[in-house]
Amino acid sequence: MTGWEKVGALTALYAVGMLYANHAMLRRVKGAVAVRAAWTAADFDAVFDDTDPRVAPAVRAVLAPWYGEGVVPRPEDTLKRFLKMDRGDVDDMVAALRTRLELPEEVAPTPDLPDVAALVRYVDVLVTPASSRGPAAVPPPGGR
């Protein structure tokens, strides 16, 4: 084999490898789309049926720009890794939820929220006063 034949063979091998990698990636994306197509807004709301009924739809509406049209968030979607949100994006999202749900502004910073489920639970705590959530949610006197 001459030098140019080796270059041609390696280039062809590289092209075949890239085609295989793209094909495998497209198969995974199509599989993920099929799984997400079966997930509906009603499924999302049903996961959080123990929260205030206004919270899950409000979170879905605020997250809609991050997902695109017709895609419903899943509770296990991480804010940092899956949605590529930074701390400022999460703070802005919580502020938008406060405005949408007509909640007062809070001085305390937003805690680290790992995923969509934690965001829904955090907003539910803001919406529902501790005294109306039952004895398990109210801390005992003395703080512990």
- The tens-digit pLDDT sequence of the chain (144 residues) is 888 999 999 999 999 999 999 999 888 878 777 877 888 999 999 999 999 999 999 999 999 898 877 788 999 989 998 888 999 999 999 999 999 998 888 777 889 999 999 999 999 998 887 545 554 554 444 444
pTM, to two decimals: 0.69
Contact, 60 vs 100, CB < 8 A? Answer: no
pLDDT in tens, 2-34: 889 999 999 999 999 999 999 998 888 787 778
**56 in Cβ contact with 48 (< 8 Å):** yes
Nearest to 62 by CA among 85, 36, 40: 85
* pLDDT attached to residue 36: 78
Q: Residue 34 has what pLDDT?
A: 80
Put residue 59 in one of left, alpha, beta given phi > 0 → left and psi -120 to 50 → alpha: alpha
